[in-house]
Structure 1
Amino acid sequence: MGILVIIGRLLFAALFLVSAYGHLTRRKMMAGYAASRGVPAAEFLVVATGVQMAVGSLMVALGVWPDLGALILFLFLIVTAFWMHPFWKESEPQNRAMERVHFYKDLALAGAALVMFAAFAALGPDINPGITGPLLTIR
């Protein structure tokens, strides 16, 4: 089972590593989009969320307190879903459909991150071959 968990961690983390890279290397463009969605201090928050995704995904991928890494990604995803993709505010049907897809994608990924957090925190090293065990323990 250990190899499956490692593969799953790497596949899950890949999306966030690529996104973090984009946030950090194309921050002006990303900040412009974030500002258009009403995000205050958009450039700062683009960099901050880029770092948040990088840290969380590396923790999950490497197995360094992967429970905390999954929780960091969960928090990012929940905030992003509601702040960046409020499809119910869109009046144009195509934009509404696109934002709805992004909103539910973020919620689905948040659900996966929450399951990862719970699994790592509850089962620890039994299911998670990594550099460290979980930081948190839940039963």
Structure 2
Amino acid sequence: MAANGRLEVGDIAPLFTLPDADGNPVSLSDYAGRKVLVYFYPAAMTPGCTKQACDFRDNLAELNESGVAVVGISPDKPAKLAKFVQRDELNFPLLSDPEKEVLTAYGAFGEKKLYGKVVTGVIRSTFLVDEDGRIAAAMYNVRATGHVAKIRRDLSL
């Protein structure tokens, strides 16, 4: 892990088990032997996070065909995630991390700039975890719009 608390390519992905929108536990180890995109977003049902989630939803079949699963993580409670999943017909797991422990372990929570001010919050980030549980790509401060196209282009998915 880099000095700034951020993960780098080759690091072992921090393990986690978090509740999904239905309250069922989902673990990183559930994806052992597969590639998984783990993305962190600030808040369900906000405009940017909705664009990003729908982008993953609309590209999930192609990502799955490339051997890549998708999991989204935010500080939202499962009940809010359930509304988000239902409203936008999301087809991949959204996990709840209200204590921000997993967000912090991935370097996706901390100081960031928002409208020119330094604030503490969720840093929109995406990680490709490889079949062996290592970080294959670490992307911080990503844009919500066009993110999946950039991932597919940059990672040749």
TM over 0.5: no
Structure holding more helix per residue: 1
Higher RCO structure, 1 or 2 (CA under 8 Å, sep 6+): 2
TM-score normalised to structure 1 length = 0.26
